[in-house]
Amino acid sequence: MNGLFQQYLQQASQHIDNVLQNDHFSLHEREIGRLIRVSSGVASVSGLPNTKAMELLRFENGIMGIAFNLDPDEIGVILLGEDTELMAGSRVERSGRVIDIPVGHALLGRVIDSLGQPLDNSGSLQAGSRWPIERDARPIIERAPVSAPLQTGIKVIDALIPIGRGQRQLILGDRQTGKTAIAIDTVLNQHDKNMICIYCAIGQRGSAVAKVIQHLKKHDALKYSMVLVATGESTPGLLYIAPYAATSIGEWFMEQGHDVLIIYDDLTRHAHAYRELSLLLRRPPGREAYPGDIFYLHSRLLERATHLKQKYGGGSLTALPIIETQAQNLSAYIPTNLISITDGQVYLSPVLFQKGELPAVDVGKSVSRVGGKAQLPSYLDISGPLRLSYSQFEELETFARFGTRLDEATRQNIERGRRVRETLKQDESRALNVFEQIMILLAVNAGLFDPLPIAKVKKAGLQLCSAVADRFVSQQHKIYNGERLTAEEKDQLLDFARSVLRTEDLITSRF
């Protein structure tokens, strides 16, 4: 009998040792609760009175959940896995930690889910450390003004709605208007710009995400990017945490001094997932049935994008959140929220898309509040007056549609504006560098395209780009070093453009 008791004691102490080694808690702190009910990605748990907000809870079958609603006798939990195997009455344990994600250089080129598990077939992740997905935004005192441009390679954006590194620029528009295309083209254009890109897909179809990944691979862009995916089939919990997880990964790179670009595609689906969770957990619904803290949800996410002072590493995190509008309604709840949180927006119009004016950017409804200050000076010289003259042209054109008789100067203005619009058209995956853009804008401003029929202008611009590619090395050097071009240098460029357009005999043939 004594021997049996000794054996029992030994087993018990072995068990206690195991528990102490494997858990963050010492035994007396360990708390075990019970699952009361579970449905559609949320659960209610009782018996864990000391649980902290956003703490991870572990269910019996290994599924994790986030403590979300902390009521005195019951905790509302967001589940991070499938709930099919959970049963009422089963055990739930506190983990003592908040949810985190692997960070580090090992993530480049990888495709992961919101929990940091690899979704590609490139083996396990050897990330150095893990960071919590919710982190405080950097204090204002550590931030520097946006001062360097982020070149998208898309003329209409770089010239009229320029984006700076550290800026938050919203891309919004109805479905199928080219929102993802703009974001992905921007990623492709970063191939030689020392930028790390993160594409965070939220709530899209798996096939659409696979297409994006394939596109990035084809253009060899995955080597400086990574993709974090929570598809439409994922639980709402995984959709909810996806952008925060992606931002923590971006912040890690930023704090190493890198420039980072992060794309959230799209936050409408993120808001939907959060609304679903909140309603299931019986939080009171407000406007459009969203919970009261929906604004805070996105502002605390986007506030983490910034440009750090040199003293703090000098890195930057530029955010391009994407939003889908319904029937061009910019004043719906989520679009207005995001417009007020971000530093500007690129609005894509389905009307322009149908007309074939691609990218379908509606310049009148788009704005960039900080990027203009970050443009390269020689580029700013040329693109600066363009925005005003372009919007004046659009008004004139609308007016002229009523069959008004126009004087010669106005007619010329309209003809020039039409050619500017034509030069701003650009195909997908056909990014232009700053020098090529300067060349085209100089030429159109100087009226070199005026003799051409409109249908030939776009091709003439491209012809000019390919002719100019390896020339004017000293001017290119100056442009990229942030120096202004002198009047003589601009004249040299224009003379060259004239000769190209003349020798190509654009008016008669070839285009």
* Closest separation in Å from C-beta 169 to ligand ATP: 16
Q: Which amino acid is at 110?
A: R
Q: Per the structure block, which two tokens stand in for 55?
A: 């703490």
Judged by beta carbon, residue 324 or residue 436, the one nearer ligand ATP is: 324
* Closest separation in Å from C-beta 240 to ligand ATP: 20
Contacts with Mg ion, 307-346, as mask; x by CB under 5 A: ----------------------------------------
Interatomic CA distance for residues 158 and 164, integer angstroms: 10
Judged by beta carbon, residue 153 or residue 371, the one nearer ligand ATP is: 153
Comparing CA positions, the residue from 363, 369, 370 lying closest to residue 389 is 363
Interatomic CA distance for residues 107 and 492, integer angstroms: 46
DSSP structure string for 351-405: HHHHHT-SS-B-GGG-EESSGGGGS-HHHHHHHHHHHHHHHHHHHHHHHHTT---
Angle between helices 377-400 and 434-445 in degrees, nearest 10 = 50
Q: End-to-end CA distance of the chain, in Å?
A: 101
Judged by beta carbon, residue 24 or residue 175, the one nearer ligand ATP is: 175
Comparing CA positions, the residue from 270, 295, 290 lying closest to residue 279 is 290
* Closest separation in Å from C-beta 112 to Mg ion: 20
Q: Per the structure block, which two tokens stand in for 305?
A: 């994008």
The beta strands (E) that lie in 266-333 are given as: 316-324
* Closest separation in Å from C-beta 266 to Mg ion: 7
Q: Which residues pair with 93 in a beta bridge?
A: 32, 58
Cα dihedral value 494, 497, 498, 503, nearest 10? 160
- Residue range at the interface with Mg ion (CB under 5 A); choices 179-187, 340-348, 477-485, 487-495: 179-187
Interatomic CA distance for residues 131 and 169, integer angstroms: 25
* Closest separation in Å from C-beta 346 to ligand ATP: 11
Q: Per the structure block, which two tokens stand in for 179?
A: 């929102």
- Residue range at the interface with Mg ion (CB under 5 A); choices 89-97, 172-180, 189-197, 459-467: 172-180
Name which of ligand ATP, Mg ion, none residue 357 binds, using a CB cut-off of 5 to 8 Å depending on partner kind. none
Backbone Cα Rg of the chain: 28
* Closest separation in Å from C-beta 324 to ligand ATP: 6
Indicate whether 186 belongs to the interface with Mg ion (CB under 5 A). no
Name which of ligand ATP, Mg ion, none residue 176 binds, using a CB cut-off of 5 to 8 Å depending on partner kind. ligand ATP
Choice among 143, 369, 416, 418 that is catalytic: 369
Pairing label, strands 170-173, 344-348: parallel
Judged by beta carbon, residue 114 or residue 186, the one nearer ligand ATP is: 186
Helix (H, G, I), strand (E, B) or coil at 162: coil
Name which of ligand ATP, Mg ion, none residue 33 binds, using a CB cut-off of 5 to 8 Å depending on partner kind. none
Check if 97 is active-site.
Answer: no
Interatomic CA distance for residues 90 and 50, integer angstroms: 19
Residues that bind ligand ATP (CB under 6 A): 173, 175-181, 324, 358-359, 426-428
Judged by beta carbon, residue 115 or residue 181, the one nearer ligand ATP is: 181
Name which of Mg ion, ligand ATP, none residue 181 binds, using a CB cut-off of 5 to 8 Å depending on partner kind. ligand ATP
Helix (H, G, I), strand (E, B) or coil at 349: coil
DSSP structure string for 123-151: -----SEEEESS-PPPPGGGB----SEE-
Interatomic CA distance for residues 481 and 377, integer angstroms: 9
* Closest separation in Å from C-beta 236 to Mg ion: 20
**What is the edge-to-edge ordering of all strands in the sheet holding 344-348?**
111-113, 225-230, 195-202, 259-265, 316-324, 170-173, 344-348, 367-368
Non-local (6+) Cβ contacts of 455 within 8 A are none
Judged by beta carbon, residue 180 or residue 349, the one nearer Mg ion is: 180
Name which of Mg ion, ligand ATP, none residue 243 binds, using a CB cut-off of 5 to 8 Å depending on partner kind. none
* Closest separation in Å from C-beta 177 to ligand ATP: 5
Interatomic CA distance for residues 48 and 93, integer angstroms: 8
Judged by beta carbon, residue 44 or residue 180, the one nearer Mg ion is: 180
Q: Per the structure block, which two tokens stand in for 345?
A: 């927006």
Judged by beta carbon, residue 268 or residue 368, the one nearer Mg ion is: 268
Name which of ligand ATP, Mg ion, none residue 428 binds, using a CB cut-off of 5 to 8 Å depending on partner kind. ligand ATP
Name which of Mg ion, ligand ATP, none residue 427 binds, using a CB cut-off of 5 to 8 Å depending on partner kind. ligand ATP
* Closest separation in Å from C-beta 324 to Mg ion: 8
Interatomic CA distance for residues 335 and 323, integer angstroms: 7
The residue of the chain with the least Cβ separation from Mg ion equals 180
Indicate whether 180 belongs to the interface with Mg ion (CB under 5 A). yes
Judged by beta carbon, residue 324 or residue 362, the one nearer ligand ATP is: 324
Q: Is residue 145 packed enough to be buried (19+ CB in 10 Å), middle (13-18) or exposed (0-12)? A: exposed
**Positions that interact with Mg ion (CB under 5 A):** 180
| Residues recognised as catalytic | 369
